[in-house]
Amino acid sequence: MAASGQDTRARCGERHQQVANRRHPVAKRAPAEGGQRPLPRPDGRPAGDPLTQCHRFAAHRIVVAHHRGMPVDYRAPNINARRLGLLLRQIRETLELSYDEAAVQLCCDANWLIRVETGFERLTPDRAREVLDFYGVPPHRMRTAVIDLASRPSGPPWLAAHAGRLKALVRDLYTLESEATVIHTYGIAVVPELVRSEPYARIGFEHHVPQVDADEEWDLLASRQRHRPGGVPRVLDVIVCESALTGGPPEIRRGQCDHLLGLSEDGHTTVRVVPAGVGAHAGLHGSFDVLEFPAMDDRISVVHTALGIDLARCDLTRTWERIEEVALSPGPSREMIEKVMRD
């Protein structure tokens, strides 16, 4: 494990000088011939932005083994630790430093650096700043992202109480969801999770196979619903099929409809309904969410199946747009929900 601060640099001495000539500011580093792009400048993001690529790649890696039928190591580092490691790896590779060269520059053991870049070693915010300083990373969004991830390696605090009973895949998807500032959520046979009332949600928990603890599940869902990324209310764009509003015990159904109407008045939530009369449409394959993140071009799509939550194998934005084409606008949708409440 490496030391930190001024003591670290003093003890490095001549070893640090061996690679001192490689310490160029990252934003000014030219790409290698026929090779990698430079990291993004503070005033703009080039195509193939490393921060966007890192986010997408980390999300993909958490389920690739699952989709290939390979065993999944649920002790694996969570997605924030892996995203942090991927960002640091991209910085090191852009500087064309090997692990050994970077370890000399950082005055650390190469194995420690490998563990950091793969998410198996905890990096404190102070140590993250020191690593960025040694690499010569100037103040811009890449630096901010690294320090931010180092400050919350385990995701939102409320997730810790449930992490022990969740698979790594589910834990990571909830972490991603907690960081999304815009969520497009679609429900076909049931109301989407993030807009369910407590009685409606508990009915689902009571009939869940395998059996679950309804109190634990509601505590987790309520925390997901209350969460504010960066302390700011997220934007919820909701589309629900009419059939999802008409089933279940009348009292619970009416309460859920009233809950949707209340959410649609808070200024951050839009609720639209797909009438049963539209017939076949793009949303018949199942419920899903499309997550958007601040300062990111990419979106992440999540599907909800009878087996639980999973990462979609492709971007479902176009599917969402096609569902929008057949959904009622918010005004007529509200009228339909009110009608369902009266029936």
* CATH number of the domain within which 69 lies: 1.10.260.40
Q: Which two tokens stand for residue 182?
A: 């815009």
Q: Are residues 108 and 185 in the same domain?
A: no
Q: Are residues 218 and 325 in the same domain?
A: yes
Q: Are residues 185 and 135 in the same domain?
A: no
Q: Are residues 137 and 173 in the same domain?
A: no
**64 lies in some domain:** yes
Strand partners, 271: 238
- Whole-number Å distance between alpha carbons of 233 and 255: 23
Q: Are residues 128 and 183 in the same domain?
A: no
**58 lies in some domain:** yes
Is pTM beyond 0.75? Reply is no
Residue 75, pLDDT score:
54
CA atoms within 13 A on the CB side of 308: 12
**314 lies in some domain:** yes
Q: How many domains does the chain fold into? A: 2
- Domain holding 191, by residue range, is 167-342
Given a contact cutoff of 8 angstroms between Cβ atoms, the answer to whether 76 and 168 are in contact is yes
- Whole-number Å distance between alpha carbons of 199 and 263: 16
**158 lies in some domain:** no
- Whole-number Å distance between alpha carbons of 17 and 201: 61
How far is the CA of 286 from the CAs of 41, 46, 72, 180, in angstroms?
40, 35, 25, 21
pLDDT tens for the chain, 343 residues long, are: 444 445 544 545 444 444 444 444 443 344 434 443 333 333 333 434 555 555 555 555 544 444 444 444 445 678 888 889 999 999 999 999 999 999 998 999 999 999 999 989 989 999 999 999 999 998 877 888 898 888 887 789 999 999 889 998 999 999 999 999 999 999 999 999 999 999 999 999 998 888 999 999 999 999 999 999 888 999 999 999 999 999 889 999 999 999 999 999 999 999 999 999 998 999 999 999 999 987 667 799 999 998 889 999 999 999 999 999 999 999 999 999 999 998 8
Phi-psi label, residue 69: left if phi above 0, alpha if psi -120 to 50, beta otherwise: left
Q: Are residues 43 and 174 in the same domain?
A: no
> What residue type is 207 in one-letter code?
H
Q: Are residues 227 and 320 in the same domain?
A: yes
**263 lies in some domain:** yes
**160 lies in some domain:** no
Give DSSP secondary structure letters for 253-295: HHHHHHHHHHHTTSSSEEEEEE-GGG-S-GGGG-EEEEEE-TT
**229 lies in some domain:** yes
**120 lies in some domain:** yes
Q: Are residues 175 and 323 in the same domain?
A: yes
Residue 241, pLDDT score:
97
Pairing of strands 308-311, 299-305: antiparallel
